Amino acid sequence: MIYYQDDKILIRDMAPQDAGIITREELAQGWHAVIEKYECRLKDQKEGHAVVLAAEYCCHVAGYISVYPDSSFGAFGNKGYPEIVDFGVLEKYRKNGVGEKLMDAAEKIASRYADTVYLGVGLHSGYGAAQRMYVKRGYVPDGSGVWYGDAVCPPYADCRNDDELILYLSKKL
């Protein structure tokens, strides 16, 4: 299915071949990437648990995003709110509007299920661009504090500033 298209950007359902392309591109730019993450998202899509999108920029796979209509994870888990998961734009395609169009499509999909959408964002500097984008789009912290893995990180607890250290944000649609 196509969710958005103009002369340069195409937002569509992710296809199995996209998983390998994205993984190779992420590894080439120095990111920690495993194909199993994308294969899991594709499996969830096939089973009807998620909507998984890929973006193309000038006919090249450039990014991805997933929407879980009734997520069981994080600050809003099991409350009937959709969660946006695994949002990324390959570095060489950034600043071309790809991320904005992916987020627009994900929020439109989420609005079919609830009036609020949420997501978790990492806290290390690698997530800086995403953090800024979410604030500009109207996302606000949920108030539960920082999470590590699948639980709230208690005050003064030791934690590691890796991809599992996140802050949950939500937005009224």
- 164 DSSP assignment: T
Buried b (16+ CB within 10 A) or exposed e, 83-92: bbbbbbbbee
Question: pTM value?
Answer: 0.92
Radius of gyration of the chain (CA): 16
Q: What's phi and psi for 141, nearest 5 deg?
A: -60, 145
Task: Say which CATH number the domain at 149 has.
Answer: 3.40.630.30
Instruction: Give how many domains the chain has, as a whole number.
Output: 1
Per-residue pLDDT of the chain (173 residues; tens, 9 = 90+): 999 999 999 999 999 999 999 999 999 998 888 999 999 999 999 999 999 999 999 999 999 999 999 999 988 999 999 999 999 999 999 999 999 999 999 999 999 999 999 999 999 998 998 999 999 999 999 899 999 988 999 999 988 999 899 999 999 99
H-assigned helices in the chain: 16-28, 35-46, 98-111, 128-136
SS3 (DSSP) at 129 = helix
